[in-house]
Structure 1
């Protein structure tokens, strides 16, 4: 009975993940799209829990669904109506690049599925017992990957400052809205 319950939860979380992912890209209101992304991140955390990756699931909820998405929602609320269509009227090469990237991503997924179906991806890697532990992840962050960790924090700071700059209103805009 326990195995059936796991499969039911897995299919529900996978369906929620797919549904909220579709909602992220199809909703026109950026606020609702960001809320759908929070739902997507939460359903991914459930899938991580089912894969016995408790630390990754907790980090997913705390860092991404919590901190990063709160920042996204703050920027969307700060920008107001100007965040609705940031790429409207953009260059045509942008749409072509998006379609090309989507086709390449689909090709990559299909190649991975075919390799898995052919048995070429069936070899298991040797993983130590300490792999994925909070101590192991912290040690990697603060030794081998310290530069990337700090660059990421600087990029997030630049994104926050950019959101404030984009949200600044000039005196002429305030009079035009009145």
Structure 2
């Protein structure tokens, strides 16, 4: 049963990672990333790391993904040119980064990954019995002690990172004026995500619909035409 769960979680993690990069809709990319993180949590459970699995779901798949959803909702899906896409420097940097990452993963798999295939986590043999000297490894008590002693600086930096993300989400939520539209109208980020020819709940309750700048111009032209009297046309 554990082998079946392992392969299902591994396939889910790979599919979520590929979907995060391949999907063009930012909302779907965030959902694929959530699926990837949940699959990793299942792998942590198989390794007897219950606290790490719970933190993976609560912190990453929960709090951080909510912030990502806020950012995607308020920024929208507009195409913004941030730099040359086909530059040689960008291509060379991407190839170099991929090569370094591949070498690192190869060293990790050949060095310690293959040796751990017959175990069920650190300090636990194939028979499921913990070895002497490894009792308490990965428990909340030991992880909390390490976070507040040896890894205090990275722990505080991660806290500041989450705080900055929260402040950024609130700042985007309080932004006024909406996004600029080439036609001259002002649209909100949620208008980019709402299907066309659909209104909002406020418009449905109030029985009114928001008028765009193009419709205002059209109404102005029609009002100008109807205001011309026949005697004025004769004088002209």
- For the aligned pair, the TM-score class normalised by the smaller chain equals 0.7 to 0.9
Alignment of 1:142-161 (within 5 A): 142-161=148-167
> Deviation of residue 151 (structure 1)?
1.8
Partner of 1:176: 185
SS in 1 for 2:48: coil
TM-score scaled by structure 1? 0.78
Question: C-alpha distance in 1, partners of 2:172/2:85?
Answer: 17
Change in Cα spacing, 1:24 to 1:118, as seen in structure 2 (3 Å) is closer
Q: Which of the two has higher C-alpha Rg?
A: 2
Residue 88 of structure 1 deviates from its aligned partner by 6.3
Of Structure 1 and Structure 2, the greater helix share is in: 1
- Aligned to 1:81, what secondary structure does the other structure show? coil
Give the direction of change, closer, same or farther, for the CA distance of 1:117–1:148 in structure 2 (3 Å limit): closer
- 3-state SS, counterpart of residue 131 of structure 1: coil
1:112-146: CA deviation from partner (whole Å, max 9, x where unpaired): 34445997xxxx88853122111111122223322
Q: Give 1:5-154 correspondences, 5 Å limit.
A: 5-82=1-78, 87=82, 89=84, 92=87, 93-115=89-111, 128-154=134-160
> Tell me, which stretches of 5 or more residues in structure 2 are unaligned?
116-121, 124-131, 187-211, 213-236
The alpha-carbon distance between structure 1 residues 78 and 61, as it changes in their structure 2 partners (threshold 3 A), is same
Structure of greater relative contact order (alpha carbons < 8 Å, 6+ residues apart): 1
Q: How many positions carry a matched residue from both structures?
A: 170
Note if contact 2:6-2:46 (Cα within 8 Å) is conserved in structure 1. yes
Are residues 91 and 154 of structure 1, via their aligned partners in 2, closer, same or farther at CA, if it must alter by over 3 Å? Answer: farther
TM-score (norm 2): 0.61
